[in-house]
């Protein structure tokens, strides 16, 4: 990385946007100039980057002249409107929304798995769904060892995946319950404090939600495995940050716990935390703020042959979003 880059962060004042700025700084990405972009109501705010105050600019169609890389995290409608404009201006977009993930002309990338796909970009590269990315960090090394066929999974997703308002709702509801006040429900359809909601994203005709189908659809594309099947139930839990997923996976080849552990130990971006007898296993609190995901509770599946069960956790604002986007930018920088 001998040259430096003019980098824009679109949605810079949001939860993921702020993490993108921190990650660019913490990983010493060669930012020659930084341009934070956001809606008109956020324009003029100051954000810290490398110890300096940088003024947020309003996102417009003319925002991308001279920008090399734009990290987008401002929602699907903003991405659909502005990502093609940015690409046309000669900027490479790394988009965190679901807008382009299943577009056959747009690479969908987890750098530890399919960094090579970045080379085929036509101006836009997609970041995967957070739960998909975290799950695949553990599943893909096992797939390389044994050849995955299908998974059954349940996610335990933190409220920060919904945004800042959801964080405040959980905090406020806990306080309301503890002090005996009426519980206010605004962000979720039901109380989230001391509760779990088997409902993330919009419902589809098949009875699954959009979030649940992302694991199968995006997993196939990232792993280059069109036969991959995933039956998933996504659950919102009263945790502030970091997602966890319980996975039962069926493989083509005979499996072993030892082989799975060896595959994980060799894999980048995932730590083995697997000593249940001493209460060592992945926890949302333990992965919060960490770049690496963690996997544990690896065991033979009782329900079918060639099956393994495991529990994986990761910070969905980092590996599930900001970190993955910056890692894609790092790969771009290598081939620029």
Residues catalogued as catalytic: 130, 243
E strands present in the chain: 5-10, 31-38, 46-49, 52-55, 57-58, 69-72, 92-95, 124-126, 148-157, 229-236, 243-251, 270-272, 293-300, 307-314
DSSP 323-336: HHHHHHHHHHHHH-
Q: Which sign does the torsion angle of CA 276, 282, 285, 289 carry?
A: positive
User: Which helix H or strand E contains 222, and what residues bound it?
Assistant: helix 210-223
Paired sense of beta strands 307-314 and 293-300, if any:
antiparallel
- DSSP of 137-166: HHHHHHHHHH-EEEEEEEEEE-GGGT-HHH
The secondary structure of 17-55 as a DSSP string is HHHHHHHHHHTT--EEEEEEEE-TTTTT-EEEETTEEEE
Q: What are phi and psi of 127, to 5 degrees?
A: -90, 140
User: Can you tell me which residue has the tokens 């036969």?
Assistant: 227
In this structure, the number of other CB atoms found within 10 A of the CB of residue 71 comes to 29
Tokens (6 digits) for 261: 């552990």
Contact indicator for 245, 134 with CB cutoff of 8 Å: yes
Are residues 308 and 142 in contact, defined by beta-carbon separation less than 8 angstroms? yes
**DSSP letter assigned to residue 118:** G
62 CB contacts (<8 Å, ≥6 apart)?
none
Distance CA 32, CA 276 (A): 46
């Amino acid at each position: 990385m001998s040259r430096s880059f003019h980098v824009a962060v679109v949605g810079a004042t949001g939860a993921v946007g702020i993490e993108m700025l921190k990650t660019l700084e913490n990983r010493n990405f060669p930012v020659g100039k930084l341009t934070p972009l956001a809606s008109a109501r956020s324009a003029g705010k100051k954000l810290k980057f490398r110890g300096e105050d940088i003024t947020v600019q309003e996102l417009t169609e003319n925002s991308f002249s001279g920008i090399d890389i734009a990290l987008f995290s401002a929602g699907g409608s903003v991405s659909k409107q502005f990502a093609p404009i940015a690409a046309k201006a000669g900027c490479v977009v790394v988009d965190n929304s679901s807008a382009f993930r299943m577009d056959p002309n747009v690479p969908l990338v987890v750098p530890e798995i399919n960094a090579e796909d970045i080379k085929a970009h036509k101006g836009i590269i997609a970041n995967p769904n957070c739960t998909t990315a975290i799950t695949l960090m553990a599943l893909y090394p096992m797939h390389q060892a044994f050849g995955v066929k299908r998974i059954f999974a349940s996610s335990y997703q933190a409220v920060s995946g919904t945004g800042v308002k959801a964080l405040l709702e959980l905090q406020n509801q806990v306080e309301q319950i503890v002090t005996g006040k009426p519980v206010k429900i605004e962000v979720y359809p039901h109380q989230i404090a001391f509760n779990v909601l088997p409902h993330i994203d919009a419902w589809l005709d098949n009875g699954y939600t959009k979030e649940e189908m992302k694991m199968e659809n995006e997993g196939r594309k990232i792993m280059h495995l069109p036969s991959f099947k995933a039956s998933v139930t996504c659950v919102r839990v009263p945790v502030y940050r970091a997602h966890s997923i319980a996975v039962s996976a069926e493989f083509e080849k005979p499996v072993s716990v030892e082989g799975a552990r060896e595959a994980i130990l060799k894999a980048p971006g995932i730590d083995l935390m697997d000593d249940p007898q001493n209460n060592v296993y992945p926890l949302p609190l333990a992965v919060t703020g960490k770049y690496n995901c963690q996997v544990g509770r690896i065991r033979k599946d009782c329900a079918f042959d060639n099956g393994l069960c495991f529990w994986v956790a990761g910070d969905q604002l980092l590996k599930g979003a900001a970190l993955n986007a910056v890692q894609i930018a790092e790969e771009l920088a290598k081939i620029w």
